[in-house]
Amino acid sequence: MKVAFKAQMRNIDKMAAEKYGLPTVVLMENAGHRTAEIMEKILAGVAGRNLCVLAGSGNNGGDALAVARHLQNMGAKVKVFLAGEMAHFSQATAAMHKALMAMGVEMHVLESDRDWDRLHFALKFTDGIVDGILGTGFEGELRKKTLRLIEEVNEAAKPVLAIDVPSGVEADTGRIPSVAVHATATLALGLPKIGQLLSPGADVTGQLFVDDIGIPVGLLQQEEIKQALLDDAMAAGLLPPRSRAAHKGSCGRILVVAGSHGMTGAAVLAASAALRAGAGIVTLAVPQSVHDILETKLTEVMTVPLTETAEGILGGEQALAQLLSLAESYDAVLIGPGLGRAVETMELVRLFAAKVQKPLLLDADAIYAFSRQPDDLARLPQVPVLTPHLGEMAGLLGVTVPELRESLLPIVREAAAEYQCVFVVKSECTLVAYPDGDAFFTTKGNAGMATAGSGDVLAGTIAGLMKQTESALAPLLGVYLHGLAGDLAAEQKGESLIASDIREHLPAARMKLREIQLK
């Protein structure tokens, strides 16, 4: 499923009218009907329930007025509060208002103190609220009237269904300039919006529903919309069936270069995750002085000691030669987890990346190696995969994390094109961006995965899949399986899960994906 910017969604609505003869009032009617059905689902029935519908003066408000009519027809006791100016109603919104007037639905324009008292009383005794105050067009600061209304809604602490986006959330970024409606659920009209997936907007979206509201599918699947959800349907096409004649060599030979004093755990998690992801052979190359520790910790993963420039520090021409020679026998290389940031280690990473001719994944300290010279990434012989968290991504680009968050997708997309890399940016909704502009948002994962080592497991998972699927698709499949494994782990451990729990649920995640493929 595609994910839309607000300008893209406006263009879809425009084309629906001009090319397919579907005027705004038709889509508004469909949106109202579907929203009413979801409210009925949330409340387990609306007949006899007291419901408040809050409507602005834009088309989002028109959708809300349509919802009010359908809820009234379903037996609900509906009160509508108008937050906008009726003089600003579009033709479609005015038509919905006229229908409610004819039905005798109780409506109030929020103007006087008495109107606000009515609202406060109604919210205290309502069973549910429909938020149609602001739509996707909102950005910037809230007007005082709207700010007060949103605060009243949040203070009521009742179930809220937001139409398209919770009021106060910027649809393109998820930014909340001041305050936003805390929705129990949100119905995205046509396509999901980026602001529903990225925090802080994601934190107030609640359960996300999506409905096409009758928009022709061709408009919703336009190639010009280059961002999509990494959902079950997409993931099902990424993992090919395994042949009965498969052997360990055909399932992928993966070289992991990782570990240093105090950070052997990162190396263990990454290498063992590659095996759990289904790779046939995984070899872990480590500094000589920590080799014995890792050889004791690991059973199925092979280990190779590398020459050090000092105890625990990897670097120098001899280590570089060893790594390049080793890499010739492997299908893909992961370098970076727990490697350390000594000057000679960083130089080794850059020289190795510039010379190795295999699919390459850079994680953690290997990303830091390019933080002062990111232009070098564009000159690498392959298109590397980088797996930074927000702090590492900001450091690589020379910006702050708040600046990165302000415009996450455009910044990451531009960086992928400029540096000719695949970026897997880890956050509350992991983003995968390709040099051609394609971008994908994960649908899996949970807050319990915010734990040390989770990123090492992700890097190992992606690396372990680089032979089992096309190497360019491994980031997508890896992100999906890692998130799904985290969700399965959370069912047992909740917010107390640790990185090894994610790793140990990778087999169950693969099995679940196979089940999805068979449906």
* Contact call for residues 319 and 241 (beta carbons, < 8 A): no
Pairing, β 422-425 against β 431-433? antiparallel
DSSP 181-217: ---SEEEEESS-BGGGTSTTHHHHH-EEEEE-TT--H
Peptide bond into 177 cis (omega under 30): no
Position 86 confidence tier, pLDDT thresholds 50, 70, 90: confident
Residue (of 445, 413, 7) closest to 230 by Cα position: 445
Q: Nearest 10 degrees: CA dihedral of 296, 298, 303, 308? A: -60
- Phi first, then psi: what are they for 125, rounded to 5°? -110, 5
pLDDT mean over 246-269: 95
Q: How many CB atoms lie within 10 A of CB 225?
A: 18
Residue 6: beta bridge partners?
none
pLDDT at residue 87 is higher than 90: no
* Contact call for residues 330 and 253 (beta carbons, < 8 A): yes
Position 339 confidence tier, pLDDT thresholds 50, 70, 90: very high
Q: Nearest 10 degrees: CA dihedral of 454, 517, 471, 231? A: -50
Q: Which domains does the chain have, with CATH numbers?
A: 6-225 (3.40.50.10260), 234-518 (3.40.1190.20)
pLDDT of residue 519: 82
Question: Tokens representing 340?
Answer: 């350390």
Residue 193: beta bridge partners?
4
What pLDDT, in 10s, does the model give residues 95-147? 999 999 999 999 999 999 999 999 999 999 999 999 999 999 999 899 999 99
Rounded-to-integer distance, Cα 18 and Cα 216, Å:
12
Rounded-to-integer distance, Cα 124 and Cα 132, Å:
19
**Those residues with Cβ within 8 angstroms of residue 285's Cβ, 6 or more apart along the chain or in another chain:** 255, 256, 257, 258, 303, 304, 306, 322, 323, 326
Pairing, β 431-433 against β 439-442? antiparallel
pLDDT mean over 330-343: 97
Residue (of 86, 193, 152, 167) closest to 409 by Cα position: 193
pLDDT of residue 243: 87
Longest CA–CA separation in the chain, Å: 85
pLDDT mean over 371-389: 96
* Contact call for residues 300 and 393 (beta carbons, < 8 A): no
pLDDT of residue 181: 98
Q: How many CB atoms lie within 10 A of CB 439?
A: 22
pTM recorded for the entire structure: 0.94
Q: How much is the mean pLDDT over the chain?
A: 96
Pairing, β 160-163 against β 128-132? parallel
Percent of the chain with pLDDT over 70: 100
Contacts 24+ apart (CB under 8 A), 407-412: 407/173, 408/173, 408/198, 409/194, 409/198, 409/227, 409/433, 409/439, 412/439
Rounded-to-integer distance, Cα 208 and Cα 164, Å:
10
pLDDT of residue 311: 84
Position 152 confidence tier, pLDDT thresholds 50, 70, 90: very high
**Those residues with Cβ within 8 angstroms of residue 316's Cβ, 6 or more apart along the chain or in another chain:** 307, 308, 309, 344, 348
pLDDT at residue 213 is higher than 90: yes
What pLDDT, in 10s, does the model give residues 286-330? 999 999 999 999 999 999 999 998 888 899 999 999 999 999 999
pLDDT of residue 313: 87
Q: How far is CA 109 from the centre of its chain?
A: 38
What pLDDT, in 10s, does the model give residues 167-203? 999 999 999 999 999 999 999 999 999 999 999 999 9
Reduced to 3 states (helix: H, G, I; strand: E, B; else coil), residue 2 is strand
Reduced to 3 states (helix: H, G, I; strand: E, B; else coil), residue 476 is helix
